[in-house]
Amino acid sequence: MKARTTTALFPFLALVLASAIGEAAEYVPGRVIVQLTAAAHAGPDFRGDLGLQGRTGLKDLDDRLAAIGAARVAPALRFAPAGDSEPARRLRRYLRIEYAGAADPADVAAQLRSSPDLQHAEPEGVLRAAAIPNDPLFPEQWAHRNTGQAVAYDSTLVGIPDCDGDTDLAWDLTVGSPAIIIAVIDSGIDRTHPEFAGRLVPGYDFCNDDGDPSDDHGHGTACAGIAAAAGHNAQGVAGVAWGARIMPVKVLGHDNNGTVGWLASGIVWAVDQGARILSISIGAYHFSIVEDAVAYAHAAGRPMFCSAGNRNSSGLSYPAGYTAYTIAVGALSPCNERKSLTSCDGEDWWGSNHGSTMLLAPGVRIHTTDITGEDGYTPDDYTATFRGTSAAAPYAAGVGALVLSLNPALTPNELKQRLQGSCEDMGEFGADPETGFGRLNAHLAVLSAFTMPTYVNAAYTGQEWGTLHRPYNTLEEGVFWAPIGGTVVVFGGRYTEALTIGKQLTILGKNGIAEVGP
């Protein structure tokens, strides 16, 4: 289960700074927070009673405070803590400094930082609520946050809580960038749907050979909604990467059929027109022209997310089967299992193809966009039962868009490795023929945007400082605790204490590869 309570050292677990990756930092005007050194705080010159004069009694620091026009110095915490966690982190030494004028808090902090009386100086950051969208159907989208709310084919509720992609946690870091264009190569897109307003780029219809890739079936609109329907717009659903843009490429007609020539043309055209990611929810047999087209896209640096197929068999449909070039995506049920004939969703007439090279993403009983009006799957502009590896591929494409929004320099192979390494293992350790690399985790994927996940043997002893979400723990440098088993997310820095090995853990670095030692 996800832990959403804050802790003293990790307030960003439920509230995040506006300076989250990919966004500009935001600070409270006229304020900085500093921490006195232990010597300065305990020395005879420090005087808390001078705070209303904007001074501390410490000469070097007071000279700097005078230079910035400091008006008030006060304890940073409203109430003094009952105790201290460790000497280097004593919260009683933190002070809030308020100053007059419009000087940038970051510049002011930089001026103060070199004072020998200070251990830290930083702007007071603005907190924003975590990026949970207000879309009315979001609570029903088990793919983002699974609480056991999925409605099975027999209308019963099913699902294992936390069997989801943790996209709601990934959104705290990024919701996607408009610089990332996802080409949805499918039956087109309903370009009038409000979920895509302002985020569609010109597309093409290869079925009718014109520039109007409107959807006359519904499949493409549903796939586009999974990948990138608008989030936090108070209507409908939230897509995975709602900050990304969408390129509609129509290669399937009103009967949801097309030709390999159209598919190959669509892939090449999307690459040449600037698509950054290709989502292909199409299954076929091997055709050389399609293989050469995906090789072209791969060489151009365009990751391709392809549906594994819906025959419930081992082996992958094509183009997913061109595994040297593509990222194959199978379907996950709400009950932490590969979608099969017997999975908990009750749809006993189909199952996801499988193999050790794929990853799994939500692919059954999916809420997404539909053609508006009477011509879609439903008359409600949204559908609650979209299914297939067709649904899983655009979900994974959306996760890929989130990662590239943070680190657009990644090659297709680098992105693929990060996504595979971020999966939550479901079967035997490592990739296996039944569940591949496991359940795709958007949150761990975006944490890995700049660092390859590294599998090491590790178990920590010591004190737990904060919980990111179970069974994962976020540790700062110098903190040496984690449960035996599971996955640990660490920040850059060298961990020098000896580690007791319990079982295989995944160590994910953020902002630099973390070294585990000695």
Catalytic residues: 186, 219, 390
- Token representation of residue 484: 């035996």
Distance CA 290, CA 296 (A): 10
Measured between its terminal Cα atoms, the distance across the chain in Å is 33
Report the half-sphere exposure of 262 (CA within 13 A, side-chain side).
24
Please give the single-letter amino acid code of residue 398: G
**DSSP code for 45:** T
Strand partners, 95: 34, 75
Q: Could you check whether the bond before residue 471 is cis, i.e. omega within 30 degrees of 0?
A: yes
* 3-class SS of residue 97: strand
Other CB atoms within a 10 A radius of the CB of residue 360 amount to: 32
Considering only CA atoms, which of 424, 376, 387 is closest in space to residue 226?
387
Please answer whether residues 17 and 125 qualify as being in contact, where contact means their C-beta atoms are separated by less than 8 angstroms. yes
Considering only CA atoms, which of 61, 66, 125 is closest in space to residue 99?
66
H/E run at residue 107:
helix 105-113
Distance CA 75, CA 57 (A): 15
Please give the single-letter amino acid code of residue 100: A
Considering only CA atoms, which of 183, 193, 166 is closest in space to residue 281?
183
Distance CA 334, CA 158 (A): 7
